[in-house]
Amino acid sequence: MRDLQGSSQPGAPPLERAVDLARLRSGDKGEWDRFVRRAGPVIYAAVLRRLAAAGAASEAEDVAQEVFARLCRPDRPLAGYDPERASLSTFLTVLSTSAAIDHLRRKRPADPIDAIPEHRLSVPASEPAERIKIPDGLLTARQKLVLTLLYDREMEVAEAAALLGVDAQTIRSTHHKAMLRLRAHFAGDAPAAPLVSQDEA
C-alpha cells in the first residue's frame, strides 16, 4: 500500500481531475473504464486495510466489487458525489470503509435466541438510578467529541488533532476549557452558562 502522493505515480493528478464527472454520469463507457483504473486502487486500499485488520484480507476484492456496484447505478453513476463538498478520494474511502465494515458485520454468525443464557435476557429488577440533570449546551459538540476521542478512544492528542484537522495545541485548549466547565458544573458552585458557539477552540 502506498500514499497517493507517493512515488509510484509522480505528478499524477488527483482523482477528481483525472475523471470527467459529467461524462461519467452520462454513462460513457470509456470514462467509466478510466474511473475504474484510477479509483480501483483507492477503493481497494480502504477495503483491504479494514478487512486485513479483521483477518479477512482475501475477501477484499469481492468487497471492492461491491463498492463499484454501488457506485455504478444505471441512472447516474456517482450521483451521490458532490465535488464542491469533498474530494473524490475521501468520498470513495468513506464508502469503501463502510462497505468493508458492513461485510464484516454480515459475516458475524447470528446468535440463536435459544443459545443465549436466560440471565442475559432478563430485565434487571432494580430501577435505574435517577440521572443527573445536564443542561443543554454545557459542552459544545466539538468539546464532547474531543473528550470522547481522548478518554473513550484513548487517542493521543496528536491523533485527535489529525482526525479533526487542527493542531495539537487546539486539542489541549479545547480539553482544558471543557474540563473547566465540567468541574464548575459538578462542583455546583457556579452553573456554567450555555455556550453559543462550538468554534471557541
Partner 1 sequence: MIGSEDDKQLWRKFAEARGSAPTPSKGRAGEGGDTASSPSRLGDRLAPQDEEAGKRASLDHPHLEVAAQGPSKDEDAAMLLAAWLDGRLEGAEREALETRLAADPDLLDLAVSASASRGLAAPWPKRGEARAAALVAASRPGWRLMAAAAAAVVLVALGGFEMGQAGSQLLSDDSETDLAAELGLVPETDLMETLL
Question: Footprint of partner 1 on residues 113-172 (CB under 8 A)?
Answer: 131-134, 138-142, 144-145, 147-157, 159, 162-163, 165, 171-172
Long-range contacts of 182-190 (CB under 8 A, 24+ apart): 182/138, 182/139, 185/134, 185/135, 185/138
CB-neighbour burial class of residue 72 (10 A; exposed 0-12, middle 13-18, buried 19+) = middle
CB of 13 to partner 1, least distance (A): 14
Restricted to residues 20-49, the positions that interact with partner 1 (CB under 8 A) are 27-29, 32-33, 36-37, 40-42, 44-46, 48-49
Restricted to residues 81-110, the positions that interact with partner 1 (CB under 8 A) are 81-82, 85-87, 89-91, 93-99, 101-102, 104-106, 108, 110
Is residue 173 close enough to count as binding partner 1 by CB under 8 A? no
Is residue 194 close enough to count as binding partner 1 by CB under 8 A? no
Output 31 or 125, the one with its CB closest to partner 1: 31
CB of 125 to partner 1, least distance (A): 20
How many CB atoms are located within 10 Å of the residue 143 CB?
Answer: 21
CA torsion angle 92 95 101 107 (round to 10): -100
